Amino acid sequence: MAAVRAIDIRTAIPGPRSREILERKARVVADPLSVYLPVVDDAGRSLEWEVHGESLLIRLGKARKAGEAFEVRIRYDAKPRRGVFFMAPDKAYPKRARIVWTQGEDEDNRAWFPSYDYPNQRFTSEVLATVEERYEALSNGRLVKVTHDKRRKRKTYHWSLDKPHSNYLIALAVGEFDSKEWNADGVPVQAYVPKGMGSFIDRCFSNVPDMVRFFGKMTGLKYPWPRYAQVCVPEFIVGGMENTSITLLYEYCLTDEKAYNDYRPESLLAHELAHQWFGDWLTTKSWGHVWLNESFATYFDILWFEHFYGKDEALMRIETDRDNYFEETVKAYKRPIVTHKFTESSDMFDRHTYEKGGSVLHMMRNELGDDQWWKAIRHYVMKFSSENVETNDLKVAIEEATGRNLDTFFDEWLYKAGHPEFEVSWSWDDKAKQVELRVKQTQEVKDPVPLFRVPLVVEIAWDDRVQRESVRLERADQVFRFDAPRRPKAVLFDPDDILLKKVTFRKEKDEFLWQLANGKGVWPRMEACRGLGKFIGDDTAVARLQKALTKDKFWGVRREAAGALGEIGTQAARDALLNGAKDKDSRVRRAIYRGLGMFRRDEVAFKALSEAYMDDGWYYPMQTAALALAETRHDRAFDTIVKGMDRPSQAEVLARGACMALANLRDERGLDVLKVRTAYGRPEVVRYGAAWALGKLASYHEKRRDEVLEHLVGLLRDPNYRTRVGAVLGLSELGYPKGIDELEKVAAAEPIAQLRTAARAAIRDIREKHAEGAKRIEQQEELDKLKDENKGLKARLASLESKVESLRKKR
Ligand SMILES: [Zn+2]
């Protein structure tokens, strides 16, 4: 693993410009690191030094004035366990590429070079890397020169970034690569992938030049760095990292078309590119404000989707983000997006910082209107050009650009937590010719969750016209009255689905039917599907959902129709689902398979799912089919899932889905199938999925818990990061208090911060589960039984209703 012979990093340690800086010394970490004498100053004099924990203290020899520039040379070597990673083939992974890569965010660059490692200061940087001649070394900024020492068979790459940036954005990648370069209005856009994978480049990266132009135009700032390189590296520990002018990416974004629709690398690429503006050019001043990096990258990715694929596609992305955020609020916590209360800064990189923040920016854009929003963004980018920012800077920039005061908005959505939950109903007052709309805000209002004061649009619709009303929701219970010529066909609450919220809107079946057939935007039609899913045993609902499933032009509506039919769960609904099963959009097929999974021990559904699992051909639908097969609890589900589980797919989504399907199936035989797949030598993502599923499955088999616990604990010390993550998730699922001691060791000593965060979450989970007591398993079984009974009841209800219907007709 001797790809890098020497690295010479030159950064400026910032001068003491503020009190805060004086208190933060340059830091090195306690990873095995040796500093060699002499540490020298710019005159070549040796200086005294000491290492204190994370600080390297250097005595300057003579007094220096604040703000005075001077040079210190530190010669050191290190064996970092984080920050820099050396990938190389071994017996178990003979094909693994020999590549070195780094990952600095949030505070890991200090593990491979002594540095001022906090984002609140910016400086220029240079990296000189000497490597064996067959390797290429890539780093930030501009390549100054390459010198070739032919005798010693080495090359030295000299990279320089002459515009200041923050320490965590310094990066290095060394290896043998295939590459390609584009030109985006003068900006060189480059893609590097491990040698031999060059055929993936076009499919993955060809839209990036368009993104470079789009972000440049919309922000008013042309791409600000000398070039934009993207480098795919093996076993990268995050999806992507926006190092200044050189984004590193995991190799799983290189995929064939069979993952498309369900997985689009463009989303990752747009996110990392957007960071070159929001994150790198304007950088958060501290981790508590990191949403200024991450929410912007999340939302600008969506804005590019809107520009390239249209508004409806963008809305679907926002929907998914909201669901991810809601899931975190249910499973873990609600917190203000801006906060300084965290155990470690890595705790901040959660669904609040990414997904909720993106949704908040979407609302902000709608509150300001497009013109004002872009005016504000451009002003913010220009005003804080090449600076570190905090949340209030954005608020002030908006005020200056638009004259709008967003105090309330920032207070509720950024400094407070949660989201509004509404119960809505409407009625028609024939005498007054008015629509009466009642809105109750029902979330528990308790610090930090406020009662929200938000603007919202209500649409009143007839066959031939619509009427839009703007209201402001600001009380726990409000009634609005709108004049209207006659009783409307439908009343829509937030028809463009702008607001981050949960809504229960009780409506008659006929209104949903009208809405599904006549809704202009996609959201009202989707909402109608969800509503109709509650009318069990209703032939009209099934027929109209089937029509939507097979005929609606937008896939998102077809997907909702499939979901609703699954909810309805009668034989007629099942047949309707089968009718749509050949949809050309994989995202709709996934919903159909999910829906078919609701039919317990149903031969027809099982057969359709078995075929889908083996023959759909697209990775994500096959993954969904595996999970649905488990839900059917069919006698042959186990064998079917195992038979197809080792087929390769993008990021092994199929194998991982099958692992989780075995856990959900609860068949004890799955334990051995999963154990085998955690072995060193299997793809790291499979090991991750298998370890996670193993813990979940063992939670249903008390006698095997100790054995699985021991197995997972062994994996906590695995050399592969993702496998360690899988083991932590597995222990969390296992919910066995005996695992807490081991997880505490991870939380204390694991080198990679995200995993320490995950370990703390797992400990919290286990304690909660344990507090609930052994009831959990009994409850699961009870739930299973109820689901079976429910299916029987639905069938009986449907047949009774049809009997009643035919009796009525006979009369
Ligand atoms: Zn990001």
- Contact call for residues 284 and 389 (beta carbons, < 8 A): yes
Cβ neighbours for 352, distance < 8 A, ≥ 6 positions apart: 291, 325, 328, 335, 337
Per-residue pLDDT at 27 exceeds 60: no
CA of 281 to the centre of ligand 1 (A): 14
Residue 747 half-sphere exposure toward CB, CA atoms < 13 A: 17
What confidence tier does 209 reach under pLDDT thresholds 50, 70, 90? Answer: very high
- Report the separation in Å between the CA atom of 55 and the middle of ligand 1, taken as the mean of its atom positions: 28
Task: Check: CB of residue 691 under 8 Å from CB of residue 656.
Answer: no
Q: Ligand 1 centre from 275 Cα, in Å? A: 7
Q: Is the pLDDT of residue 428 over 70?
A: yes
Terminal-to-terminal C-alpha distance of the chain: 86
**Which helix (H) or strand (E) segment is 423 a member of?**
strand 421-429
- What is the SS3 assignment for 121? coil
Classified as helix, coil or strand, 49 is strand
Secondary structure of 713-731 in HEC code, one letter for each residue = HHHCCCCCHHHHHHHHHHH
Please compute the mean of the pLDDT values over residues 426-448 and round it to a whole number. Answer: 97
Separation of CA 360 and ligand 1 centre (Å): 16
Question: Which pLDDT does position 33 carry in this prediction?
Answer: 55
pLDDT for 612 beyond 60: yes
CA–CA distance, 115 with 5 (Å, rounded to integer):
20
State the pLDDT at residue 795: 67
Residue 18: per-residue pLDDT: 32
Distance 294 CA to ligand 1 centre (A): 5
Cα separation, 299 vs 358, in Å, equals 5
Cα distance between residue 286 and residue 274, in whole Å: 19
Query: Rounded to an integer, what distance in angstroms lies between the CA atom of residue 696 and that of residue 111?
Result: 35
Answer whether 692's CB lies under 8 Å from 733's CB.
yes
Q: How many angstroms separate the alpha carbon of residue 680 from the centre of ligand 1? A: 30
* CA of 668 relative to ligand 1 center, distance in Å: 40
Strand, coil or helix: 357: helix
Rounded to whole angstroms, how far apart are CA atoms 671 and 710?
13
CA-based nearest residue to 695, from 717, 716, 721: 716
What pLDDT shows up at residue 26? 39
Summarize pLDDT for 737-773 with one digit per residue, the tens. 999 999 999 999 999 999 999 999 999 999 998 887 6
Tell me which residue has tokens 């016209």: 465
| Ligand 1 center–CA 238 separation, angstroms | 10
Residue 185 has a pLDDT of: 95
Rounded to the nearest angstrom, the distance between the alpha carbon of 242 and the centre of ligand 1 is 7
Other Cβ atoms less than 10 A from the Cβ of 791: the count is 17
**What is the whole-number distance in angstroms between the Cα of residue 288 and the centre of ligand 1?**
15
Largest CA distance in the chain: 108
| 772: CB partners within 8 A, 6+ apart | none
Q: Does residue 619 contact residue 262 with C-beta atoms inside 8 Å?
A: yes
pLDDT of res. 811:
53
Torsional sign, CA 169, 172, 176, 181 = positive
Ligand 1 midpoint to CA 412 (Å): 24
User: Distance, CA 92 to ligand 1 centroid (Å)?
Assistant: 32
Query: For 634-664, how does the pLDDT look when each residue is reduced to its tens digit (9 = 90+)?
Result: 999 999 999 999 999 999 999 999 999 999 9
Q: How confident is the model at residue 324 (pLDDT cuts 50, 70, 90)?
A: very high
Q: Give the pLDDT band of residue 30 (cuts 50, 70, 90).
A: very low
Asked whether the beta carbons of 522 and 530 are under 8 A apart, the reply is no
| pLDDT value of position 254 | 96
CA distance 254 to 199: 9
Q: What is the pLDDT of residue 807?
A: 67
Q: Identify the helix (H) or strand (E) that includes residue 673.
A: helix 670-676
Interior angle at CA 586, CA 689 and CA 631, nearest 5: 50
Of 29-38, 351-360, 466-475, 629-638, the poorest mean pLDDT is in 29-38
The pLDDT-based confidence of 302 (bands split at 50, 70, 90) is: very high
**Ligand 1 centroid to residue 293 C-alpha, Å:** 7
| R_g of the chain computed on alpha carbons | 29
Q: How far is the CA of 274 from the centre of ligand 1 (A)?
A: 9
Res. 21: pLDDT tops 80: no
Distance 498 CA to ligand 1 centre (A): 23
Residue 295 CA to ligand 1 centre (angstroms): 8
Residues whose CB is less than 8 angstroms from the CB of residue 405 and which lie 6 or more positions away in sequence, other chains included = 399
Instruction: Kindly give the distance from the C-alpha atom of residue 478 to the centroid of ligand 1, in angstroms, as a whole number.
Output: 39
CA of 171 to the centre of ligand 1 (A): 15
Distance 315 CA to ligand 1 centre (A): 20
Instruction: Give 16 Cα–ligand 1 centroid separation in angstroms.
Output: 29
160: tokens are: 């320089």
| Cα 268 to middle of ligand 1, angstroms | 9
- In one-letter notation, the amino acid at residue 743 is L
Residue 105 Cα to ligand 1 midpoint, Å, equals 10
DSSP state of 354: I
Residue type, 9: I
691-732 confidence digits (pLDDT tens): 999 999 999 999 999 999 999 999 999 999 999 999 999 999
Q: Please tell me the distance between residue 345's alpha carbon and the centre of ligand 1 in angstroms.
A: 14
Read off the amino acid at residue 545.
L
Whether the pLDDT of residue 13 is over 70: the answer is no
Quote the distance between the C-alpha of residue 177 and its chain's center.
Answer: 28
Smallest Cα–Cα separation from 33: which of 142, 114, 117, 106?
A: 114
Three-state secondary structure call for residue 474: coil
The pairing of beta strand 72-78 with beta strand 33-41: antiparallel
401: alpha, beta or left? (left if phi > 0; alpha if psi -120 to 50): alpha
SS3 category, 112: coil
Query: Which secondary structure element, helix H or strand E, spans residue 304, and what is its range?
Result: helix 291-309
CA of 483 to the centre of ligand 1 (A): 47
How many other CB atoms sit within 10 Å of the CB of residue 183?
10
Side-chain-side CA neighbours of 217 within 13 Å: the count stands at: 11
Q: How far is the CA of 355 from the centre of ligand 1 (A)?
A: 11
Give the Cα-Cα-Cα angle 379, 184, 279 (nearest 5 degrees): 40
Task: Name the average pLDDT for the chain.
Answer: 92
CA of 508 to the centre of ligand 1 (A): 43
* Contact between residue 61 and residue 44 where contact means Cβ atoms under 8 Å apart: no
Distance of CA 194 from the midpoint of ligand 1 (Å): 23
- Tell me how far the alpha carbon of residue 271 lies from the centroid of ligand 1, in angstroms: 6
User: Measured in angstroms, how far is the CA atom of residue 302 from the centroid of ligand 1?
Assistant: 13
Rounded to the nearest angstrom, the distance between the alpha carbon of 706 and the centre of ligand 1 is 39
Q: In what order do the strands lie in the sheet with 490-493?
A: 466-473, 454-461, 490-493
- Quote the pLDDT of residue 38: 61
Q: How far is the CA of 72 from the centre of ligand 1 (A)?
A: 33
What is the rounded CA–CA span in Å between residue 777 and residue 722?
28
Alpha helices per DSSP H over 123-207: 201-205
Averaged over 38-47, what is the pLDDT?
Answer: 77
Burial of 66: CB neighbours in 10 Å, binned 0-12, 13-18, 19+: exposed
Helix axes of 586-596 and 555-568: crossing angle, nearest 10 degrees: 0
Cα 94 to middle of ligand 1, angstroms? 32
Kindly indicate the confidence band of residue 802, based on its pLDDT and cuts at 50, 70 and 90.
low
What distance in angstroms lies between residue 117's CA and the mean position of ligand 1's atoms? 18
CB contact at 8 A, 241 and 103: yes
pTM beyond cutoff 0.85:
yes
Please give the distance, rounded to the nearest whole angstrom, from the Cα atom of residue 298 to the centre of ligand 1: 7
Q: 427 near 479, Cβ under 8 Å? A: no
- Cα(719) to centroid(ligand 1), Å: 25
Q: For the range 700-707, what are the long-range contacts, defined as Cβ-Cβ under 8 Å and sequence gap of 24 or more?
A: 700/666, 700/777, 700/780, 701/668, 701/671, 702/777, 704/668, 704/671, 705/734, 705/736, 706/738
Rounded to whole angstroms, what are the CA distances from 802 to 58, 273, 533, 719, 796? 86, 57, 18, 62, 10
Query: Which of 457, 353, 433, 367 lies closest to 757, judged by CA?
Result: 353
Q: How far apart are CA 6 and CA 9, in angstroms?
A: 10
Rounded CA separation 318/324 (Å): 10
Mean pLDDT of all residues in 662-676: 98
Ligand 1 centroid, distance to 359 Cα (angstroms): 15
pLDDT at 300: 98
Q: For residue 352, how far is its CA from the centre of ligand 1 (angstroms)? A: 13
Where residue 9 falls among pLDDT bands split at 50, 70, 90?
low
Condensed to tens digits (0 to 9), the pLDDT of residues 373-384 reads 999 999 999 999
Residue 559 has pLDDT above 60, yes or no: yes
In angstroms, rounded to a whole number, what is the distance separating the alpha carbons of residues 5 and 28? 21
Three-class DSSP category at 290: coil
- Cα(323) to centroid(ligand 1), Å: 19
Which range among 5-14, 64-73, 369-378 has the greatest average pLDDT?
Answer: 369-378
* Residue 238 to residue 105: CA distance in whole angstroms: 10
* 547 exposure class (CB count in 10 Å sphere: 0-12, 13-18, 19+): middle
State in Å: Cα 348 to ligand 1 middle: 12
d(CA 529, CA 527): 5
Task: Express each pLDDT in 223-280 by its tens digit.
Answer: 999 999 999 999 999 999 999 999 999 999 999 999 998 999 999 999 999 999 999 9
- pLDDT at 584 > cutoff 50: yes
Q: Ligand 1 centroid to 73 CA: how many Å?
A: 33
**Residues 501-529: pLDDT tens digits?**
999 999 999 999 999 999 999 999 999 99
Give me the residue label for tokens 């090195």: 28
The CA 354 to ligand 1 mean position distance, Å, reads: 8
Q: Average pLDDT for residues 608-634, to the nearest whole number?
A: 98
- CA–CA separation, 505 and 398 (whole Å): 34
Residue 465 has phi, psi (to 5 degrees) of: -160, 160
790 vs 568: CA distance, rounded Å: 11
